[in-house]
């Protein structure tokens, strides 16, 4: 009897895996088309200086609404894009569109915006090619490296570690800023961080989410802010939704923030309105 049940469980498990596989295949097929037809939109989320209440830059975030699949969040299609190599053409389209857009917006602004783009681990497999591609695209789109920022997660640093670090070093020397995204969820040690060519730590939104209710979260946030200060790095808090979170961060001298309290990611047109208001 027990054996039978165990057997059934395996069947259910197999079905789940097969369903997962076929979902991925479907996403892959649709994604390939969507990239070709340029159906994946670039949205922009403001990064704020919460003291001056001014926008300092934007982060490019992808939005895909597929005719068959409906809205597919990046957390679902980015991993598929990484596994299949579709991340390369997808990234290139995103870069060209976003860089051109920022340059146009900056032409009309007194304080230029900085554009942040998320990079995947997979892209650092051929890091020399990546570095030359970034330079090529910035040049073609007339965007100064000073107004461009790379966001990578801690785990990206650990995969192909040496290749990745060399690439970041070259990008930083070129004038580009490097931010570590979702910081605090990975495994970076203080000693390791000290040696890295980086400019900024972005505190993961899970720590910001319940700053007040969860004592350990506020301790982690404080520790990251202090760590950034002692390493002379900038620090940005992501996922700031509530006024009390903003107040807490300001009190602890974290001035740069991103989150729904300021703005959700906006379409190009909505971003334009936001900038003009
Ligand atoms: P991320 O880079 O850490 O981006 C922040 C995510 O948090 C975004 O989700 C954003 O919409 C969301 N967010 C921002 N403020 C708030 C807030 O106040 N509250 C809450 N609950 N959420 C907030 P999104 O757009 O779904 O993107 C998820 C992840 O997908 C990104 O995390 C990034 O890792 C990845 N991603 C998105 N676009 C790209 C891309 O062009 N390339 C790559 N490689 N990854 C991307
Ligand atoms: Mg990011
Ligand atoms: Mg993040
Ligand atoms: Mg993330």
Q: Whose CA is nearest to atom 21 of ligand 1?
A: 239
Tell me which ligand sits closest to the C-alpha of residue 46.
Answer: 1
State whether residue 53 is helix, strand or coil: coil
| pLDDT given at position 158 | 81
Tell me the per-residue pLDDT of 191-202, one tens digit each, with 9 for 90 and over.
788 889 999 999
Which of 50-54, 186-190, 229-233, 234-238 is predicted least confidently?
Answer: 186-190
| pLDDT given at position 2 | 46
Within 10 Å of residue 94's Cβ, how many Cβ atoms?
Answer: 20
Task: Examine the pLDDT at 1 and tell me if it is beyond 50.
Answer: no
| pLDDT given at position 195 | 86
Average pLDDT over residues 135-153: 97
Q: Bridge-partner residues for 202, per DSSP?
A: 236
* In the chain, alpha helices (H): 2-36, 74-84, 87-107, 127-140, 154-158, 161-173, 190-195, 205-209, 215-230, 243-251, 268-276
| Ligand 1 atom closest to residue 75's alpha carbon, by position in its atom list | 30
Q: Whose CA is nearest to atom 23 of ligand 1?
A: 239
Q: Whose CA is nearest to atom 22 of ligand 1?
A: 239
Alpha-carbon dihedral angle through residues 68, 70, 71, 73, given to the nearest 10 degrees: -60
Pocket of ligand 1 from Cβ distances under 6 Å: 45, 60-62, 73-75, 78, 94, 118-120, 151, 181-182, 205, 238-241, 258-260, 265
Distance (Å, rounded) from C-alpha 29 to C-alpha 25?
6
| Interval between CA 39 and ligand 2 midpoint (Å) | 21
| Interval between CA 150 and ligand 4 midpoint (Å) | 13
Residue 225: band (very low, low, confident or very high) from pLDDT cuts 50, 70, 90: very high
Within 10 Å of residue 186's Cβ, how many Cβ atoms?
Answer: 15
Q: Give percent of the chain above pLDDT 90.
A: 78
State whether residue 148 is helix, strand or coil: strand
| Interval between CA 119 and ligand 2 midpoint (Å) | 8
| Ligand 1 atom closest to residue 151's alpha carbon, by position in its atom list | 2
| Ligand 1 atom closest to residue 42's alpha carbon, by position in its atom list | 41
Q: Bridge-partner residues for 72, per DSSP?
A: 64
| pLDDT given at position 8 | 58
Phi, psi of 88 (to 5 degrees): -65, -55
Tell me the per-residue pLDDT of 6-24, one tens digit each, with 9 for 90 and over.
555 566 667 766 777 888 8
| Interval between CA 138 and ligand 4 midpoint (Å) | 24
Average pLDDT over residues 62-79: 96
Tell me the per-residue pLDDT of 103-124, one tens digit each, with 9 for 90 and over.
999 999 999 999 999 999 999 9
| Ligand 1 atom closest to residue 240's alpha carbon, by position in its atom list | 18
Retrieve residue 49's tokens: 């200086």
Chain CA centroid to CA 243, Å: 23
| Interval between CA 112 and ligand 3 midpoint (Å) | 23
C-beta separation of 148 from 99 below 8 A:
yes
Q: Bridge-partner residues for 116, per DSSP?
A: 59, 149
Q: Whose CA is nearest to atom 40 of ligand 1?
A: 118
């Amino acid at each position: 009897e027990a054996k039978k049940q165990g057997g059934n469980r395996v069947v259910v498990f197999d079905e789940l895996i097969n369903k997962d596989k076929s979902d991925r295949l479907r996403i892959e097929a649709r994604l390939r088309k969507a990239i070709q037809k340029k159906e994946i939109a670039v949205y922009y989320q403001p990064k704020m200086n919460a003291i001056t209440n001014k926008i300092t830059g934007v982060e490019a975030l992808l939005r895909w609404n597929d005719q068959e699949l409906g809205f597919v969040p990046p957390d679902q299609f980015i991993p598929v894009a990484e596994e299949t190599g579709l991340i390369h053409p997808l990234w290139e389209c995103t870069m060209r569109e976003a860089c051109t857009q920022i340059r146009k917006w900056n032409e009309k602004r007194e304080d230029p915006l900085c554009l942040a783009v998320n990079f995947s681990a997979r892209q650092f497999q051929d890091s020399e090619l990546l570095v030359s591609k970034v330079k090529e695209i910035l040049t073609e789109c007339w965007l100064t490296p000073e107004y461009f920022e790379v966001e990578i997660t801690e785990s990206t640093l650990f995969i192909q570690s040496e290749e990745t670090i060399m690439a970041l070093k070259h990008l930083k020397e070129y004038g580009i800023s490097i931010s570590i995204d979702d910081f605090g969820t990975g495994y970076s040690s203080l000693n390791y961080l000290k040696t890295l060519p980086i400019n900024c730590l972005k505190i993961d939104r899970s720590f910001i989410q319940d700053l007040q209710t969860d004592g350990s979260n506020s301790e982690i946030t404080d520790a990251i802010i202090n760590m950034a200060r002692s390493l002379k790095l900038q620090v940005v808090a992501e996922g700031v939704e509530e006024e009390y979170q903003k107040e807490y961060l300001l009190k602890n001298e974290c001035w740069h923030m991103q989150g729904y309290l300021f703005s959700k990611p906006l379409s190009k047109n909505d971003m334009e309105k936001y900038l003009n208001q």
